[in-house]
């Protein structure tokens, strides 16, 4: 799927990207990265953009953060893996749970966005 028809929010469009506790960037970061046809990697910014999620056909989000909110509960399937953003966090203990969630979404022909705050550390 393409994001060519998704434009960044304008000042006239009030959009709550609100994640002040996790410092979600409020600027346009482009789109999430497609890893596989059913698997995308992104940031809290992407997870807060319903238009972007819908344009990509995202049906589920894997939130690999202890402080970023699930903005659209009830509209998408969510799984939270509460990993702190520090070098001491043992993320490997969550791998099987994450894989099982991603596999379950894939089996239902869904698409998953895996994200943390910036989309470059915990979620990757």
Catalytic residue flag (residue 116): yes
What is the token pair recorded at 104? 């379950």
At 52, give phi and psi (nearest 5°).
-70, -45
Torsion-angle region of residue 119: left (phi > 0), alpha (psi -120 to 50) or beta? left
Q: Which of 34, 27, 80, 65 is nearest to 49 (CA)?
A: 27
What is the token pair recorded at 60? 């589920």
The single residue of 19, 68, 108, 116 carrying the catalytic annotation is 116
Catalytically active residues are 116
């Amino acid at each position: 799927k393409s994001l060519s028809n998704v434009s960044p929010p304008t000042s006239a469009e009030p959009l709550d990207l609100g994640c002040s506790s996790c410092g979600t960037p409020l600027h346009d970061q482009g789109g999430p990265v497609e890893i596989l046809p059913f698997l995308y990697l992104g940031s809290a910014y992407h997870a807060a953009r319903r238009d972007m999620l819908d344009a990509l056909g995202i049906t589920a989000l894997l939130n690999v953060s202890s402080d970023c909110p699930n903005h659209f509960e009830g509209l998408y399937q969510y799984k939270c893996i509460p990993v702190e953003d520090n070098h001491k966090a043992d993320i490997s203990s969550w791998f099987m749970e994450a894989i099982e969630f991603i596999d379950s979404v894939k089996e239902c022909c869904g698409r998953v966005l895996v994200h943390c705050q910036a989309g470059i550390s915990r979620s990757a």
